A = this chain, B = another copy of it.
Amino acid sequence: MVNIFDVAKLANVSIATVSRVTSNKEGVNEKTRVAVLEAMDKLGYRPNSAARTLRMSKSNIIIVLMLNIKNTFYSEYIRGLEEVARNAGYDLLIGSTDGDIEKEKNYMDLIRDSRVDGVILTTAGVLNDDFVKKINESSPVVLTFDYVPGQNIPSISIDNESASRKITNHLINMGHKRIAHITGYMGRLQSQTRLNGYKQALAQHNIQVQEALIQEGGYLLQDGYIATQKLLSFEKVPTAIYGGNDNIAIGALKAILDAGLRVPEDIAVVGFDDVEVASYMTPSLTTIHQPRYEIGKRAMDLLLKKINEEQIQQPHVILEDELMIRESCGHNIVKK
């Protein structure tokens, strides 16, 4: 392994000067700088990052914690995170906790070992609030996709509540009164917020919330499928199903079609998130679009500011969502 001494020797300077060059410090004579650069090049020298980390207590690694990476939804988001991080010289470590306590502890250790300079939290539970609090104590943190009121953790998200209200209203405006909602995993804040929006929309139109129409699910395809099968066996089958995310909606779609019913003619279906495949379903899925790439970029911008201890003017950023009206809600179908 070639080190700073080798370079210094070849360039006929001291290691301090080499360090100045590699760290892009000012105050090095141009000639000297060139000589060092040439020596580095000739030897193929690259500064040892462990030594740097040890010396400066700075790892240049940022960890992105997610509930799971299974969802395609997040790839755009990660691209956004990555782009900003990389430009600032940081590497990204992606970890999925899968809600597993053991794994959470593992990441907690990583973070506490100060092996990372910052944390992006993609998963705001309400149950494991303690986890979030602990992380926040040991490292700069930014929260994404969730907005926790009264928290001192900066966050980037859409307004899940109003978006949920919006898509529920869309169904109501099309004449639906018996609208079922299949929630995501209720240990996640997001699921609760979306459920709230659903309830608010019903209340605004004086529609009674029926507990039977609220099915607690999960964020997987099969969760939507199973919950829908249950809903279909009700004496009074709902006329519309609102899935807490697109996976749930896609599962619902399948269950309805498998039962020999039509979407949207018999039952309308809508989702949330606008994953890529949503528009490729038949019928294509009406859903809420989140600006995921933008969320990733802005989150990383914020985190870097926190790491550099810059002033953050606006800790909570709420971006615009968009209702994507497609076929599955039946907006272009004559009501029966």
Which A positions have Cβ atoms within 8 angstroms of B?
1, 46-51, 53-54, 57, 59, 61, 68-72, 75-76, 78-79, 82, 86, 91-96, 98, 103, 106, 109-110, 112-115, 221, 225, 250-251, 253-254, 257, 276-277, 280-282
Contacts and interface: CB of A to CB of B under 8 A. Distances in A.
Contact of A53 (B50, B95, B277): B50
Contacts of A53: 50, 53
Contacts of A281: 281
A75 B86 contact: no
A335 B50 CA distance: 66
Contact of A112 (B46, B86, B94, B112): B46
Contacts of A57: 1, 50
A251 B281 CA distance: 9
Contact of A49 (B71, B115, B225): B115
Contacts of A280: 221, 225, 250-251, 253-254
A276 to B, nearest CB: 6
The residue in A57, A61, A106, A277 that gathers the most chain B C-beta atoms within 10 A of its C-beta is: A277
Given A69-B69, A69-B78, A48 B282 contact: no
A94 B93 CA distance: 6
Nearest to A54: B50
A122 to B, nearest CB: 13
B46 A113 contact: yes
A152 to B, nearest CB: 23
A71 B98 CA distance: 18
A113 B75 contact: no
A71 B254 CA distance: 21
18 contacts: A46-B109, A46-B112, A46-B113, A50-B51, A50-B53, A68-B75, A69-B75, A70-B76, A79-B96, A79-B98, A82-B96, A91-B93, A91-B110, A92-B94, A92-B95, A93-B94, A221-B280, A250-B280
Given A91-B93, A282-B254, A282-B257, A59 B50 contact: yes
A253 B283 CA distance: 12
Contacts of A48: 54, 113-114
A257 B251 CA distance: 20
Nearest to A64: B94
Given A50-B59, A253-B280, A282-B282, 19 more contacts: A1-B57, A46-B109, A46-B112, A48-B113, A48-B114, A50-B50, A50-B115, A53-B53, A70-B75, A78-B96, A82-B96, A91-B93, A94-B94, A221-B276, A221-B277, A250-B280, A254-B280, A257-B282, A281-B281
A153 B243 CA distance: 45
